[in-house]
Amino acid sequence: MRPMLATHTETVPCGPEWAHEVKWDGMRVLADARGGGLTLTSRTERDVTSSFPELVPLADLFDDMLLDGEVVALVDGRPSFGALAERMHIADPRRAARAAVARPVTFVVFDVLRLLGQDLTAQPWSARRALLEQLELEGPRWQVPATHDDGEQLLAATAEQGLEGIVSKRRTAPYLPDRRSPDWLKRPHRDTVSVVVGGWRPETGSARLGSVLVGQPGPQGWEFVGRVGSGLAGRAGAGLLTRLRPLERADSPFVTPVPREDATGTTWVDPQVVIDVASLGRSSGGRLRQPSYQRLRADLTATDLEGSDG
């Protein structure tokens, strides 16, 4: 099963039919507890159980339970995706155990999809939420955060606290696996989108990565949406270049024309690596305005971007 996804909104919905939650800057995970064992599955259906051994005791709470939530790494009380990225791909049990002590994660639980053999996805959000609260899942490495009635007030509070934003959920909505639904609306504080990398350019006079050419899915294929250089200095750029070098190809992967000033000196790559980019929106020509690199999205594939809004 893949999780239900939220649709982007600029306007926070109001009224008694909506509930509002903090949007966490973490890794979406389904936690499946069965018969004393636990399986953690990412949004891309990758088994990440071995990466987070501190969450395995969740299996002791109930014999059969499926939870939806986000794994977050807290730094000074705030979620840090950068800190979490260091944990995502640790597969070796000994390394993972050491990392769990040095930088433990927290599983933020916001939905229950199955309990003791009963599929709850057809139930309205309000019923699932009431059951989730009754389960008393508070523990050393997992928690059930509060929900709020006033979305605008929560949006202001999360901005003040430096959090990512909010998610608003219609109380009557069922859970729709692998669907991006208008019954869940996300309102981040920054305009951040997930894009695929289709090429890279070196720094002037250097072999180091200076910028990347990025795209988003369109009706005919990957459409070029801009060149991103800000945020790629140092380790960020070096790490991204390591991912891109094995993907080199002879021609552009974009179906839309790439301006000469962007294409010149570009090494084209197969569109497989996904990154998050913050920008000031789009220009009239559809280009990202003043884009800056935020992070590598190792939890997403290019296929995940197709048919979504990022």
- Give the E-state strand segments of the chain in sequence order: 5-8, 18-23, 27-34, 37-42, 64-72, 74-75, 78-79, 106-115, 118-119, 142-143, 165-170, 180-188, 192-202, 209-217, 222-228, 267-268, 274-278, 292-296
CA–CA separation, 193 and 226 (whole Å): 12
CA–CA separation, 31 and 249 (whole Å): 38
278: tokens are 């913050």
Phi and psi dihedrals of 247, rounded to 5? -105, 10
Residue type at position 196: V
Catalytic residues: 23
Beta strands 165-170 and 180-188 are antiparallel
Question: Of the candidates 31, 151, 25, which has an alpha carbon nearest to the alpha carbon of residue 77?
Answer: 25
Distances, alpha carbon 216 to alpha carbons 19, 60, 118, in Å: 31, 42, 39
CA–CA separation, 111 and 262 (whole Å): 44
Task: Give burial (CB, 10 Å; 0-12/13-18/19+) of 235.
Answer: exposed
Phi and psi dihedrals of 296, rounded to 5? -80, 135
38: tokens are 């636990």
Distances, alpha carbon 288 to alpha carbons 55, 200, 226, 228, 244, in Å: 38, 16, 6, 9, 21
CB 105 within 8 A of CB 52: yes
